[in-house]
Amino acid sequence: MRLALHTWGSPDAGKTALLIHGAMSSHGTWSGVAPELVARGYYVIAPDLRGHGDSSHADSYLTEDFAEDLVESLPKDTDVIIGHSLGARALLLAVDALAPERAVYSDPAWMMSGPAAVEQARMREFTPITKFVTVKQVQQLNPRWTAEDVATEWADFQVWDERVMDKIWRMHDINVPVPKIPSLVQIADPSRVVPPEYRPHLTGLGYTIRVVKGARHVIHRDDLDGFLASLDGWL
C-alpha cells in the first residue's frame, strides 16, 4: 500500500529524516519533533501507517504489512529513521531494505509477552472507547502533553481503524537481529514494552540503549527535551 506522506522543511536541506508513528496516532504525533529536526538541517518525511491518519484502511494489519508499506512508500538511503512503538516494530523488518545510515527505535513494541502483555491488554481495553473520549479526557490521560498534541491525538482517534488492535493483540515477540547499521533503542522510564531484563540482550546484540528518565511510552510527547537530548550524536 502506498502511504500518505507528510513533510517538513526543504528537500534541498542536505539531510533527510524519516519518522514513523505508533498505533492509534498519525504523522501528527511528530509535530513537536519535526521542526526541531528541520532546525538541525533535515528534510523530514512522516508517513501515516495503514489504518491511520490519511492512509487507507485495510483488511490485513500484520507487522509484515506495515513493513512492506514502508518499503514501498519511503525513500531509501536516508540519514536517519526514527520509529516509535508499532512504527519501530515495522521499521525493524523494513530497515535493511530502506538502508538508512542510522536507525532509532523509540520504546519499540518488539516484546508482546511478559510485562509487555499487560500494556497490550490495557490498550485493547481502551480501543473501543477511542471514538468517544473527549479532548479533556485525552489531556487527563497525558498530563505532560502540549495542547496541540492532545488535540492531534483526539483527532487521530476519530479516524484510525480499530481493527489494527485486533492484529496487534495476536502479534508475537520479534526475533531481534544483530543490527547492520548503528542502531539506538530509546526507552521510556519506566517502560512497559522494553522491560529491564530484556535490555542486556539488546546491548549484547549491538544496540545502543538510552533511557529517558521519567518519560512515558510516547517519549517525544511526554518529554520533548529529553527525547532530543537522548538523540545526541545520532542526528
105 alpha carbon, distance to own chain's centre? 7
Residue-number span of the structural domain to which 57 is assigned: 5-229
* Model pLDDT, residue 125: 79
Residue 100 lies in a domain: yes
Residue 234 lies in a domain: no
Residues 6+ apart with CB under 8 A from 30: 19, 21, 44, 46, 220
Question: For the domain that residue 154 is a member of, what is the CATH number?
Answer: 3.40.50.1820
Residue 68 lies in a domain: yes
**Alpha-helix residue ranges (DSSP H) falling in the chain:** 33-39, 63-73, 86-98, 115-126, 135-141, 147-159, 163-169, 199-205, 219-222, 224-229
Residue 49 lies in a domain: yes
Residue 29 lies in a domain: yes
* Model pLDDT, residue 60: 94
pLDDT tens per residue, range 163-174? 998 877 677 889
* Model pLDDT, residue 127: 84
* Model pLDDT, residue 142: 95
Residue 235 lies in a domain: no
- What CA–CA distance (Å, rounded) separates 232 from 235? 7
* Model pLDDT, residue 120: 74
pLDDT tens per residue, range 73-112? 999 999 999 999 999 999 999 999 999 999 999 999 998 8
Which residues of the chain register pLDDT less than 50?
none
Render 137-182 in DSSP notation, one character per residue: HHHHH-TTS-HHHHHHHHHHHHHS-THHHHHHHT-----PPPPSS-
* Model pLDDT, residue 149: 98
Structural domain total, the chain: 1
